[in-house]
Every structure is written in C-alpha cells, then in structure tokens.
Chain A
Amino acid sequence: MAASAEDVRKSIKSYLLVFGALAVLTVITVAASWLKVSVALAIFIALVIASVKGSLVASVFMHLTGEKATLYWVLIISAFFFLLLVLLPVLQTWETSHLIDQVKP
C-alpha cells in the first residue's frame, strides 16, 4: 500500500479517477437494466459491472494491490467459501428439480 508521503500524493490522482469510473459505471448499470435482454443475461451484465466496481474499490481505495501474499490467501479462502455458500443452495434446488423430473410419469 501507499506508505510514504510521496506515494500518497501520487495515489490521490488515482482515487479521483476511480471515483469518476465508479460514477460512470453506476450510470451504465442503470442504462443496462433497460436493455431488452433475457433475465439471465441481465443478471450477468449487472453482476459483471458490479464486480468491476467492487474490484476498483478493493484494489485502489482499500490498497489491496500492494499488500502481501498472506492477506491474499485470507481473501482467497473467504472468496472460496463465499462461492460455496452461494452455489450450494442453487445446486441443491437444481438436483431436487432434476429428481422431480425423473419421477414424473
């Protein structure tokens, strides 16, 4: 992360650039919601834009880009369990609906 005073001065410009990017991406998110696309594609587009915004916040505002590997491992582990948490019920319901289809006459 930015440590010295000179590094901090240099970082201020990137903070303002990221702020601009986040504002523009928010407008794009709203505009994209009005596209006439399928629900699945709309969810995909919205989540991709949200992920880009989230990455900007984490890497620049939270100074994640300059941190040591220990922190990355902590975040990789929590990201893994987050995905597991999100995917488990989806897989469960998919399996249930699959079984229902199988027992249908």
Chain B
Amino acid sequence: MSSELLPHTLDAHPVTGMYNGKFGVWLFLASEVMLFGALFSAYILLRTHGDFPTHKETLLNYKIGALNTFLLITSSVTMVMAWASFKLNDPGKGKLYLWITVILSCAFLFIKIKFEYMHKIHEDIIPSTSTFYGIYYCMTGLHGLHILGGVVVMLYFLTVGSGLWNKNQQQFTNRIECTGLYWHFVDLVWIFLFPVFYLL
C-alpha cells in the first residue's frame, strides 16, 4: 500500500507530533501495559496472601536470570543501534545490528527453555505444582511469546521485508523504529520480571 493512500505514514501528524504508525505502536504498548499489569496485580495478590516461597526456596537460578537480563539489555542496545544505522543511511550496519539482536533473542529463548523450563519439567515442576509456579510459567511464558513475536518481525525485515529499503528508505527506517519500540518494551517488562521472580 503506497504512502499516498495513508496520510502521515512518513511525516508527523499535527496532533500527535509523530507518524501514525509510531503512535499506533505506542497505543498498542499502552494496552500491553494493562495486560502485564493484570498479571503483576495477580502476582502481588498471591505473593502477599498465598503460600508463596522466597527465591531461595524455589528452583529458580538467579545467575541464569541475570545472564538473560544481560542478553536482553544488550539486544536493546543493538536494536537502537540498528535503527540509528538505518537513519544514518548505512543499511549494512543496520542489518548486522538487527542480526545480532535476533541472535541475542534466540539465546535468551534457548536458555529460558533448555535450562529453566525443561529442567523444571524434568523435576516434575509444572504450572499446577503451586501458585508460585503457576504465575511464574504464565508471566515468563507470555513474555517469551513476546520475544518470539519480536524475532519473527525482525526476521521479516531482514529477509522478505528488506526490499522496502530500496523503495522507500524513510518508511523502512520508521518500521525499524516501531519494531524497536516494541522490543524495548519487551526488555522493560523483563527488567521487572527478573527481580520479582528471581531475587525477592
């Protein structure tokens, strides 16, 4: 669909001060705040009134959690560097940073599944084991699905969607910026999930 059909695809809307796609992503992220907010609310309720273990009593390894935190914050930097590179008209570097982001994201998911979920399932610890593991699997699983969604979008822009760069560089850069906004939000959620489950 050409940018002429949709107004303010490239230029800023006079009311919002940004192009429509970006404002749409921000509205989507506001709805995501409510989604994760409901789960954090459930966590607080269970934590304060349920039979809840401390992190020292659970099988959660804070070292693995800290490693995954480091992977995600690094992926946030590489994501913003990818956008900056496309903005500076350097698609080669932009794609490289985007690939690094994908690799870091896959490493996060691999560690999460292989060394955390699989290990716990092997020990017969599943969501129905306790309220703690119920909310743990629910929140970290939903976060993991968000990571997976981000990886799919990034892979799209690195493969079949990369042709847009040759047609309209600004639109392509805008799309990378929108992907970045989503990605930083996913990082932001993990920044709160890490202490909540692994350290408290």
Which residues of A line the B interface, CB within 8 A?
A: 1-2, 5, 8-9, 11-12, 15-16, 18-19, 22-23, 26, 29-30, 33, 39, 42-43, 46-47, 49-50, 53-54, 57-58, 61-62, 67-68, 70-71, 74-75, 77-79, 81-82, 85-86, 88-90, 93
The digit string for B176-190, where 1 denotes a CB below 8 A from any CB of A, is: 000011001101100
| CA of A2 to CA of B87, assembled, Å | 10
The digit string for B70-89, where 1 denotes a CB below 8 A from any CB of A, is: 10011011011100100111
| CA of A70 to CA of B74, assembled, Å | 30
Q: How far is the CB of B110 from chain A (nearest CB, A)?
A: 20
B residues 43-79 with Cβ under 8 Å of A? 44-45, 48-49, 54-55, 62, 66, 69-70, 73-74, 76-77, 79
A74 touches B55 (CB 8 A): no
A86 touches B40 (CB 8 A): yes
A85 touches B34 (CB 8 A): yes
A29 touches B194 (CB 8 A): yes
Contact of B84 among A15, A29, A53, A70 (CB under 8 A): A15
B73 touches A46 (CB 8 A): no
Contact of B17 among A42, A71, A88, A93 (CB under 8 A): A71
- In the bound complex, residues from chain B placing their C-beta under 8 Å from that of A49 are 195
B38 touches A33 (CB 8 A): no
Q: How far is the CB of A13 from chain B (nearest CB, A)?
A: 11
| CA of A82 to CA of B66, assembled, Å | 26
A86 touches B16 (CB 8 A): no
Whether A53 touches B199, Cβ cut-off 8 Å, given contacts A8-B84, A26-B66, is no
CB-based nearest B residue for A1:
B18
Contact of B195 among A33, A62, A74, A79 (CB under 8 A): A33
Kindly specify which of B22-30, B100-108, B135-143, B159-167 makes contact with the partner chain. B22-30
B155 in the interface, Cβ–Cβ < 8 Å?
no
Q: 5 closest pairs, A vs B, by CB?
A: A68-B17, A33-B199, A46-B195, A78-B30, A82-B37
Whether A8 touches B87, Cβ cut-off 8 Å, given contacts A67-B17, A67-B18, A78-B30, is yes
| CA of A16 to CA of B81, assembled, Å | 9
What would 19 A/B residue contacts be, using CB atoms closer than 8 Å?
A: A29-B195, A30-B62, A33-B55, A33-B62, A46-B199, A54-B192, A57-B188, A58-B188, A68-B17, A71-B17, A74-B26, A75-B30, A78-B34, A85-B38, A86-B40, A86-B44, A89-B42, A89-B44, A90-B48
